[in-house]
Amino acid sequence: MDFTKILNKQQRKTILTWILTPFSWLYGAGVWIRNFAYDHFLHSESFDVPVVSVGNITVGGTGKTPHVEHIIEALCRRYNIGVLSRGYKRATHGFILATDNMSPRDIGDEPYQIYHKFNGLITLAVCESRSKGIHEMMRINPDINLFILDDAFQHRSIKPKVNIVLVDYSRPPFEDELMPLGTLREPKHRLLQSDMVVVTKCPSGELSPVDIRMFKENLDLFPSTELFFSRILYADPVPVFPVPRPQLSSLGWLKADDTILCVTGIANAKPLVRYLRKFEAQVRVIHYDDHHFFTRRDFDFIFNEFNSLPGTRKFIITTEKDSVRILNNAYYPPTMRDIIFYVPIRVGFMDYEGRDFITDLTRKIEENDNSDLLK
């Protein structure tokens, strides 16, 4: 007998909560022991060069990469920036300094994207040990005078000068639970150790005063912690492969009898799917796990689905992060290069209390620092 057909949704949720709660307690105990050790016994290393950490307390996409890119774009002509990431799901290990001839498998898809977007303006490396990575980068390039650490809030071996924590508007930590019951990697009170909190992926339009007050009260931050709100801004589609005459210059050109196949391998594809469905074309979705490396079988499945779809014109739309893995993938059929596009994204900060995110970040970076840190 299939009991899942007998139990209603709420009953299944209750049973799942009972099963996962003990594991969530065990996970929380492990996190508490680690944080207690760093708070009282273990040493967090500080550096003479300012270090900015951009991280989160939840599993899944909160928009770290576009926020890191926003900071780099704003500050790369003011500082010699070194960007350090773990390089999640790369096929290599240890410290690796990014160079032009490396692929996403060498350094990870997000570092690869950042490196090629700001090539010549930053120094980028990947390393599991943030401390070792910073020391190696300083040895290789002593001119670095600002480090940006991608996804380092949990790596307490480093004491950043500025801790930026991102929280997803649609998954606020005050409505979440520790893994595996929820998506929290850290208890909610760890937000008190942040310097700046950004509520990301806010809906388009102005947030109501009620929404802002709810977040401010429920996050319960220290008065010294600065709160910001940001949203995703989408640009016109860009061909994944260089083609002489792109068939799709704007999503606004699509008609009701056109079809988009949205293919993603990111943590949260819902914002992109919602955006695509604002246009007239029909939208179908194929979703893979975060950082998915596409195989020959994946592409066989994708193009079988694509060929079976109706539509006067048909296109594949993916994310910028997925595009770097597809561009470097030998299994992608050359004959289908002219129909696949990615939608670039950037972040826009909302007007809140008249403050500017980059201005406030720069002030925190330069507090009590010597003026010779500037170029």
**85: CATH:** 3.40.50.300
The strand pair at 162-168 and 146-150 is best described as unpaired
Terminal alpha carbon distance of the chain: 71
Residues 181 and 323 in one domain: no
Q: pTM for the full model?
A: 0.92
C-alpha angle with apex 168: 233 to 342, nearest 5 degrees? Answer: 35
Residues 214 and 244 in one domain: no
Could you give phi then psi for residue 259, rounded to 5 degrees?
-135, 140
Identify the residue whose tokens are 């010294």.
224
Residues 174 and 102 in one domain: yes
Residue-level pLDDT at 21: 92
Residue-level pLDDT at 6: 58
183 within some domain: yes
1 within some domain: no
Instruction: Report the number of distinct structural domains present in the chain.
Output: 3
Helices 64-75, 357-366: axis angle to 10 degrees equals: 70
Residues 175 and 75 in one domain: yes
Residues 225 and 272 in one domain: no
**Bridge partners of 162?**
52
253 within some domain: yes
Domain that holds residue 121: 51-234+349-373
45 within some domain: no
Residue-level pLDDT at 261: 98
d(CA 256, CA 223): 50
Residue 248 neighbours by CB under 8 Å, 6+ apart:
237, 254, 315, 341
Residue-level pLDDT at 373: 42
Residue-level pLDDT at 5: 57
Residue-level pLDDT at 1: 47
Residues 275 and 196 in one domain: no
Residue-level pLDDT at 372: 41
Residues 133 and 150 in one domain: yes
331 within some domain: yes
CB 271 within 8 A of CB 204: no
Residues 189 and 282 in one domain: no
C-alpha angle with apex 323: 134 to 289, nearest 5 degrees? Answer: 80
Q: What is the CA radius of gyration of the chain?
A: 22
For residue 39 the two structure tokens come to 């708070």
Within the chain, which residues score under 70 in pLDDT? 1-7, 369-375
2 within some domain: no
Residues 190 and 56 in one domain: yes
d(CA 130, CA 84): 7
Residue-level pLDDT at 366: 95
Residues 135 and 264 in one domain: no
d(CA 168, CA 296): 34
Residue-level pLDDT at 371: 41
The strand pair at 226-234 and 345-349 is best described as antiparallel
Residues 158 and 193 in one domain: yes
287 within some domain: yes
Residues 124 and 110 in one domain: yes
